[in-house]
Structure formats: C-alpha cells, structure tokens
Amino acid sequence: MGKFQSSSVNDPQKLGAHSAERVLVIACGMLAREILAVKAQAGLDHLDLTCLPAEYHFRPNMIAPEMDKAIERAKAEGYRHIYAGYADCGTGGMLDKVLERHGVERLAGPHCFSLYQGTAAFEAIGDRDMLAFYMTDFLCRQFDSFFMKPLGLDRHPELIKDFFGNYERLVYLAQTNDPELDKVAEDAAKLLGLQYERRYTGYGDLETSLRAL
C-alpha cells in the first residue's frame, strides 16, 4: 500500500487555515483501513489520514526517516496537530527520537499486535504467546503478497519449515468478523503446520487512542 491522504479538502491550495484546526494522522499503511473504519464509526470528522507504505514492515529502518519527511510536509501544508499512527514497529527507538524532535505523539506499545489486544493484555499473555505467529485482518488480506511471494514459499514450499519451524501456533487477531478472512487464517495455519487460534480483538487501543484525539 502506498501513500494516500483522506481529507475533506481535496485541493492542496485550499489547505492552510483549514489544516491548522484538524488532526493529521500519519500512519502505517497496515493500519489504513482500520483507522478509516474507526473514524467513520466514531464520527471523527476532524481527522485526516496519510500513510507511509505498508512495505516498511519489512524495512523498519525506513520508518523514522520517512516519518520525519512526512511531518515536515504536513507542517508545510499548515497542520499544527499531528499524530503518528505507529507503535515502535521495530525501529529500536529511532521513531521516538524523530517524534520527540517534532513534538508528535504516537500509538503506545511495541507493535500493532499489542495495540489490537491492548498493551496490558498483550503483556499479560506474553509468555504464552512466545511461540505464536500473529496475523491480523490486514495480513490475512495480504498473505500472499506479504509472506508467500517475498519468502518464496509459493515456489519453494520446503522453506516453510525453515521460516516457521520454531512457531507452535498461528494466532489470528481479528479486527472484524469476516468469514473469508477466517478461512485465510485457517488455511495459513494448515499450510504452515501450526495450531490455529482465533481471537477477536476489534480495534483495541487503536480505537481508544484515535477517540482521544
């Protein structure tokens, strides 16, 4: 998923005074659908959204510098209220350094898997999930493009054991109740040779954080 923006103002020349009173969420593309869903359900019409590519999931070293650029662009467009729709996401604290410099807050927690379950719940179940491979609605929709093709599993299924042999369970953290996504997760568990568990989380702390804006 590439960059996009959801805003009630489509003409960049009309941004400025309008943007100053709105909140721009600069988020991971993996959270785009979920953020827009929360925005619609909660009536958060004051939120605008722009996303960095979801592919940075594989290159977390790109997140901090690209977030820095995105914040600079947002400020140039007149946004005074900016929020990072990211957890740490593997940046090792580098994202926090960028955000601190700009005075921008982010989603709490280490990654979206803790975000959806709630940080407290994630920490409480941490030891039990030590050998769990997590999937979300996004990862179910993008299973082929995020796992099968990049890892070469579609061409070399014998590599499945090399990549997933240390996992015991596939845990699907479901944001929605979608039978098609359930099937993807179940089939993935069978393919990877893992026990299957489904947990309905909804939007978890993501919804709480967005409502607080």
Question: Is residue 87 situated within a structural domain?
Answer: yes
What is the rounded distance in angstroms from the CA atom of residue 75 to the CA atom of residue 19? 9
For residue 16, the model assigns a pLDDT of 55
Percentage of the chain lying above the pLDDT 70 cut? 92
pLDDT, one tens digit per residue, over 138-174 is: 999 999 999 999 899 999 999 999 999 999 999 999 9
What's the average model confidence in pLDDT over 35-60? 95
The number of beta carbons lying within 10 Å of the beta carbon of residue 59 is: 11
Q: Are residues 69 and 37 in the same domain?
A: yes
Q: For residue 77, list its beta bridge partners.
A: none
For residue 1, the model assigns a pLDDT of 38
pLDDT, one tens digit per residue, over 78-102 is: 999 999 999 999 999 999 999 999 9
Number of domains in the chain: 2
Question: Is residue 207 situated within a structural domain?
Answer: no
Classified as helix, coil or strand, 6 is strand
Domain of residue 25, CATH code: 3.40.50
Question: Is residue 161 situated within a structural domain?
Answer: yes
CA dihedral angle for residue 118, residue 81, residue 44, residue 93, rounded to 10 degrees: -20
Give the end of a domain, one of 61, 77, 107: 107
Domain ranges, residue 159: 113-200
173, 163, 165: which is closest to 196 by C-alpha?
Answer: 173
What is the rounded distance in angstroms from the CA atom of residue 122 to the CA atom of residue 109? 9
What's the average model confidence in pLDDT over 176-183? 98
Q: Are residues 146 and 170 in the same domain?
A: yes
Question: Is residue 92 situated within a structural domain?
Answer: yes
* H helices present in 43-178, as ranges: 63-76, 94-102, 112-117, 119-124, 137-141, 143, 160-164
Taking all residues of the chain, what is their mean pLDDT, rounded to a whole number?
A: 91
Give the end of a domain, one of 86, 107, 128: 107
Give the end of a domain, one of 70, 89, 107: 107
Q: Are residues 97 and 124 in the same domain?
A: no
Q: Assess whether pLDDT exceeds 50 at residue 37.
A: yes
Give the position of tokens 């740490």: 88
